[in-house]
Amino acid sequence: MKKLLIGLAIFSTQAFAASGLSGTYYNPPADTTGWWDGFASTAAYLASNPTASGTFTAASINYGGNDTSSIVSFLGSDGASFSGTNGNMADGVLVLKGWIDLAAGSTTLSVGHDDGFRMFLDGANVAQNGCCGTDNVTFNFANAGWHAFELDYNNAMYGNYSGGANFSLSQNGQTIAASSLSTTSPVPETGNVALLLAGLGLIGVVARRRSTK
């Protein structure tokens, strides 16, 4: 019975992981990130292990505002999940991590960004741009399934310049559904499945013993 309960607890934790991606917000000093250096300045900043200014759940990735927008305002409906210091978007950096469910065949992910972004899928850097526009990345998979996913964004600001800021993610031309995103792997690890099956086997033995009494 104990094995079954432990197995079910582990399985249910993974099966019912929160929809969306785990978001982290950083508010670096002015002019830390760059436009035209291909995201290199922002990558170097993140590699320095900065202290996060806040966290949130990225369930509806369609954000907009300008350099003076607060992070809570910029996140729109996702702002309700924000915890931390409500700084602005001047040189703001966002890191979204988790898992994404992609269909079999051809799938196109589109990232709208002002300013830079980079995307990782299954640990590989599959797209990166220093500034401004919409980038489309097409994948082809033999089977549908979940993939490790990371999407980083920076809103660069130089001097007293104050401009727009936007960041969005869509799949095959449609706003990506929160149910296609997960904060943790929705697929139970092999060891956890074995533990669950062992627990189910144990409860079956107990049931048979009781039926013979």
How does the average pLDDT of the chain come out, rounded?
84
Confidence of residue 160 (pLDDT cuts 50, 70, 90): low
pLDDT per position as a tens digit, 102-119: 999 999 999 999 999 999
Radius of gyration of the chain (CA): 21
Calpha distance 13→36 (Å, rounded): 42
pLDDT per position as a tens digit, 32-52: 998 889 999 999 999 999 999
CA angle 126, 22, 115 (to 5 degrees): 50
Q: Is residue 16 predicted with pLDDT exceeding 70?
A: no
**Comparing 212 with 140, which gets the higher pLDDT?**
140
**Please, are residues 15 and 183 in contact by the beta-carbon 8 Å criterion?**
no
| Tokens, residue 135 | 């980038």
pLDDT of residue 161: 66
**Comparing 213 with 141, which gets the higher pLDDT?**
141
pLDDT of residue 203: 43
Q: Which CATH number fits domain 18-185: 2.60.40.1180, 2.60.120.1560, 3.40.50.10490, 2.170.150.20?
A: 2.60.120.1560
Calpha distance 165→63 (Å, rounded): 8
Residues in the chain: 213
Give the three-state DSSP class for 48: coil
Calpha distance 116→125 (Å, rounded): 14
pLDDT of residue 18: 80
| Tokens, residue 55 | 């966290």
Ramachandran category for residue 58: left, alpha or beta (phi over 0 → left; psi -120 to 50 → alpha): beta
Which residues have a Cβ under 8 Å from the Cβ of 140 and sit 6 or more positions away?
Answer: 105, 106, 107
Decide: pTM greater than 0.75.
Answer: yes
Calpha distance 114→133 (Å, rounded): 7
Which residues have a Cβ under 8 Å from the Cβ of 98 and sit 6 or more positions away?
Answer: 20, 21, 22, 149, 181, 182, 183, 184
Query: In the block, which residue shows the tokens 């104050």?
Result: 162
- Give the closest residue to 129 by CA, choosing from 137, 144, 118, 142: 118
